[in-house]
Structure 1
Amino acid sequence: MRISVWVPYDERRLRRTLQFILRPQMKRIRIMGGVLIVLGLGVLALDPSTAVAYGIVVLGLLFVFAIGPITVARSVRMQSNVIRDGFHMTLDDEWATMSYPLAESRFRWAGLDRIIETPEVWYAMFGKMQALTIPKDPMTDEQRAEFAAFVDGLRPAWK
């Protein structure tokens, strides 16, 4: 297999990737927020004049609704300007290579933990927090089929 495509910078794809990576941590934070809301409402039911209970409910609401979007927005802002020019992606039987105008990243398939497919991309997971996004849009139908067959061949190695 040898697939080579140009991938333009797409902030929406970057945001979706960050949301995907942060999903397990955000789930825990939302659960903690729900617990805080229930706890705060319980205290308010006992004594509506308790100011701390209102603070607990507000903190719970922040945990449930605001922490995720704030974290993703900060993560997008913290990305290097190097990635904003797009990159050339080369996928072969041994490596996944992303070549930016000022930097290059290479990942050996042997280090792959798993690949998760969505309608828009494949997420090649190298550990729990390292995801390589392989977008489907820049690929031709033949390239997508070739990569999907390659992924199917990798599955026994990382299951």
Structure 2
Amino acid sequence: MQISMAVPYDEERLRRTIRFILRPQLKTIRVLGGVLAVLGIALVALDPADPMSYGVVVLGLLFATAIAPITLARSMRLQSPVIKDGCRITLDDEWVTVAYPLAESRFRWAGLDRVIETPEVWYVMFSKIQAATIPKEPMTGEQRREFAAFVDRLPAVGGRSPSRNRR
């Protein structure tokens, strides 16, 4: 397999990628927020005069609703300006190479954890928080089929097969 494509910077795709990577951690925070809010409501019901009870409710609501958007916005602001120039992604039998004008990242398929396919992209996960986003839009139909077939043929990694989940 040898696929190479120019990928323009897409802020919305970057936002979806960050949201995808942070989703497990943010889900835990939302659940914790819900638990705190319910606990706070129970405390208010037991003693409406206790101001700390209201603080627990507010903290729970903050965790449940505001932390995710704040974290996403902060993560977007922390991205290097280098990525705004777009990149060239090259996929071959051994490597995923993402090359920006001022930086380059290479990942061996041998280190792959899993591949998650969505209608717009493939998330090629090398750990729980490290992923390469392979967009489908710049690929031809033949390249998409070739890459999908390649992912299906990948050998087991660390004693397990890299899952190819569809979302």
The TM-score range, normalised by the shorter chain, is over 0.9
Identity of aligned residues (%): 69
Using the TM superposition, give the Cα deviation of residue 23 of structure 1 relative to its aligned residue in structure 2, in angstroms: 0.9
Using the TM superposition, give the Cα deviation of residue 112 of structure 1 relative to its aligned residue in structure 2, in angstroms: 0.5
Larger mean CA deviation between 48-57 and 75-84 belongs to: 48-57
Q: What is the match of residue 63 of structure 1?
A: 63
Using the TM superposition, give the Cα deviation of residue 46 of structure 1 relative to its aligned residue in structure 2, in angstroms: 1.1
Tell me whether 1:101 sits opposite 2:101 in the alignment: yes
Structure-2 separation of matches of 1:156 and 1:140: 28
Structure-1 separation of matches of 2:118 and 2:134: 10
Q: What is the match of residue 34 of structure 1?
A: 34
TM-score by length of 2: 0.92
Structure-2 separation of matches of 1:26 and 1:94: 33
Q: What is the match of residue 91 of structure 1?
A: 91
Structure-2 separation of matches of 1:24 and 1:93: 30
3-state SS of 2:17 partner:
helix
More helix by share: 1
Tell me whether 1:114 sits opposite 2:114 in the alignment: yes
Structure-2 separation of matches of 1:12 and 1:48: 44
Using the TM superposition, give the Cα deviation of residue 156 of structure 1 relative to its aligned residue in structure 2, in angstroms: 4.3
Structure-2 separation of matches of 1:155 and 1:54: 54
Structure-2 separation of matches of 1:151 and 1:46: 56
Q: CA RMSD in A?
A: 1.0
Structure-1 separation of matches of 2:146 and 2:17: 23
What do the CA deviations read for 1:95-141 (whole angstroms, capped 9, x no partner)? 11111011111111011011011111101110111011111111111
Paired residue type of 2:91? L
Structure 1 residues 155 and 42: CA distance shift in structure 2, 3 A = farther
How do 1:16-27 and structure 2 match up within 5 A? 16-27=16-27
Structure 2 unaligned blocks of 5 or more: 162-167
Structure-1 separation of matches of 2:90 and 2:108: 12
Paired residue type of 2:40? G
Structure 1 unaligned blocks of 5 or more: none
Structure-1 separation of matches of 2:16 and 2:88: 20
Structure-1 separation of matches of 2:134 and 2:88: 11
Structure 1 residue ranges, 4+ long, deviating more than 3 angstroms after superposition: 155-158
3-state SS of 1:106 partner:
strand
3-state SS of 1:91 partner:
strand
TM-score by length of 1: 0.97
